[in-house]
């Protein structure tokens, strides 16, 4: 389903964005862009135009064209994405204001009026030089992290893991004999850990990497998944925290995806209404590939989005 936005005005009035409904509870939206696909100078200027003066300054300070571009696209993506949800008629990509919470996590600063209460929209961005992503939820904290699948790690993976990861995670990685596979599992684990810390929103010191373990846990499935007597098990990703009691860490659920054949993407969101022992309510994920103001493509269910774990 490819939607082309031909409504882009020739006059430089506000270029249009295809509106989208807010995600439902337990639903996550993921929007991503590939900087290499944005070549038009005029489009980049439109993006620069919707940024705040402070954001513009930060973008232009980045060292190098590639870094500037991905920084620009990250801001343009978050502004256009939130504006799409048409929270109210006043909101445009340019009018949105952002601030940081007390721990430094970015959030929208809604312009209140007496008779209007903003929705509990949460977002989180992550970017590499080759992909920029924004996740959106309603009523749920969210953290996302994207990394290139083939990212090189300068250090020995196990040295790195011993230094920064938990013992369980080190053992998991040490058990992998193929160095390529080991490196890729390391990167997946890194994105999951980053996504968790970002979802918590307390900054790195709120949850140092060594203080929690992320691992895959088999979940027995009933019904049609039990084919021909074999116990086909789904697995879910769980987090065990050493500092917090388990009742808190069962509040978080994870998705791990391969995005656009080039990146690992980890999404961590808050679970609501689940108590210990409850079956996991499956999370619905909708993914769009976008070039804001130009084209959007819903890529859920296509090759661009491959679930590794969690859906």
Partner 1 sequence: MASLTASSLSFSSVSCSFKPNQVSNLRKASLSFSGKGFPSHRMPALRFRVACAAKPETVNKVVEIVKKQLALPEDRDVNGESKFATLGADSLDTVEIVMGLEEEFGISVEEESAQSITTVQEAADMIEKLLEKK
**What is the Cβ-side half-sphere exposure of residue 36, based on CA atoms within 13 angstroms?**
6
Decide if residue 158 touches partner 1 (CB under 8 A): no
Task: Give the integer Cα–Cα distance in Å for 186 and 199.
Answer: 20
Q: Outline where the chain has alpha helix (H).
A: 41-50, 53-61, 65-84, 157-164, 167-174, 179-200, 246-249
3-state DSSP percent of the chain in helix, strand and coil, to 5? 30, 30, 40
Is 129 one of the binding residues for partner 1 (CB under 8 A)?
A: yes
**Is residue 86 at the binding interface for partner 1, with CB under 8 A as the rule?**
no
Is 128 an interacting residue with respect to partner 1 (CB under 8 A)? yes
| Closest approach of partner 1 to the CB of residue 211, in Å | 9
Q: Which of 155, 175, 180, 247 binds partner 1 (CB under 8 A)?
A: 155
Closest approach, Cβ 139 to partner 1, in A, equals 27
Count of CB atoms within 10 A of residue 303's CB? 9
Under rule CB under 8 A, residue 56 binds partner 1? no
**184-187, Cβ contacts within 8 angstroms, sequence gap of 24 or more:** 184/149, 184/264, 186/153, 186/157, 186/160, 186/161, 187/147, 187/149, 187/151, 187/153, 187/264
Q: Does 254 engage in binding with partner 1 (CB under 8 A)?
A: no
The answer to the question of residue 62 lying near partner 1 (CB under 8 A) is yes
Per-residue binding letters, 160-199, with partner 1 (x by CB under 8 A):
x--xx-------------------------x---x-----
Total residues contacting partner 1 (rule CB under 8 A)? 25
Which residues contact partner 1 by CB under 8 A?
61-64, 66-67, 128-129, 147, 151, 153-155, 159-160, 163-164, 190, 194, 203-205, 208-210
């Amino acid at each position: 389903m490819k939607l082309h936005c031909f409504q882009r005005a020739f006059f430089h009035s506000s270029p249009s964005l295809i509106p989208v409904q807010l995600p439902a509870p337990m639903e996550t939206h993921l929007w991503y862009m590939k900087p290499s696909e944005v070549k038009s100078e005029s489009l980049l200027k439109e993006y620069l135009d919707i940024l705040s003066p402070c954001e513009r300054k930060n973008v232009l300070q980045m060292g190098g064209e590639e870094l500037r571009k991905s920084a620009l696209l990250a801001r343009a993506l978050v502004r256009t994405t939130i504006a799409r949800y048409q929270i109210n008629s006043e909101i445009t990509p340019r009018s949105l204001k952002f601030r940081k919470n007390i721990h430094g996590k970015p959030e929208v600063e809604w312009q209140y009026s007496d008779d209007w209460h903003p929705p509990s929209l949460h977002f989180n961005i992550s970017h590499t030089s080759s992909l920029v992503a924004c996740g959106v939820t309603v009523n749920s904290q969210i953290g996302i992290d994207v990394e290139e699948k083939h990212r090189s790690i300068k250090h020995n993976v196990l040295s790195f893991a011993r230094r920064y990861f938990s013992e369980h995670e080190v053992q998991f990685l040490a058990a992998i004999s193929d160095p390529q596979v080991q490196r890729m599992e390391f990167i997946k684990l890194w994105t999951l850990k980053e996504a968790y810390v970002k979802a918590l929103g307390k900054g790195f010191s709120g949850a140092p990497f060594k203080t929690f373990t992320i691992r895959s846990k088999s979940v027995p499935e009933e019904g049609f998944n039990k084919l021909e007597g074999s116990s086909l098990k789904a697995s879910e990703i769980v987090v065990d925290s050493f500092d917090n009691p388990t009742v808190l860490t069962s509040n978080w659920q994870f998705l791990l995806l391969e995005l656009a054949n080039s990146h690992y993407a980890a999404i961590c969101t808050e679970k609501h209404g689940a108590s210990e022992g409850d079956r996991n309510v499956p999370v619905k994920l909708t993914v769009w590939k976008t070039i804001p103001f130009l084209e959007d493509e819903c890529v859920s269910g296509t090759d661009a989005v491959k679930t590794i774990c969690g859906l």
